[in-house]
Structure 1
Amino acid sequence: MPRNGKKKKRKKKAFSAVEAVKAMARERIGAPRPSRMVPVRRKEKSEKHKPNLSRLLQEE
């Protein structure tokens, strides 16, 4: 609390057309469904480097 014993008044929010339009849409249509992240599916992780001669010989 400030020293004089009075609470500080809250500042009024400025009008926002975007927020007003979104609020009207929520009233009429309803809230949008929450979005979900779609997992990325990779078939197989590719190698970062080309196989060199020593690796090719080890595989055989």
Structure 2
Amino acid sequence: MIPWPCRTMGFEKSVIMRSTQGRMIMAPALAITGADRYDRMDKVRLAVDRETREHARL
């Protein structure tokens, strides 16, 4: 299942995510700026891209 490893990779990038019914849900801090939001989305993209590449090897 792809979401679980993706969640773990997100943790490695300091982004808290959870897997729910095949979806990835990000849990931002209570106070977040626009710049923080973009930084976190970049980290999420890296985690998803990495897992997609690894999953394609199977």
TM-score, with normalisation over the residues of structure 1? 0.25
Q: Which has the higher helix share?
A: 2
Q: Which has the higher strand share?
A: 2
Computing the radius of gyration over CA atoms, which structure comes out larger, 1 or 2?
A: 1
* Highest RCO, 1 vs 2 (Cα 8 Å, sep ≥ 6): 2
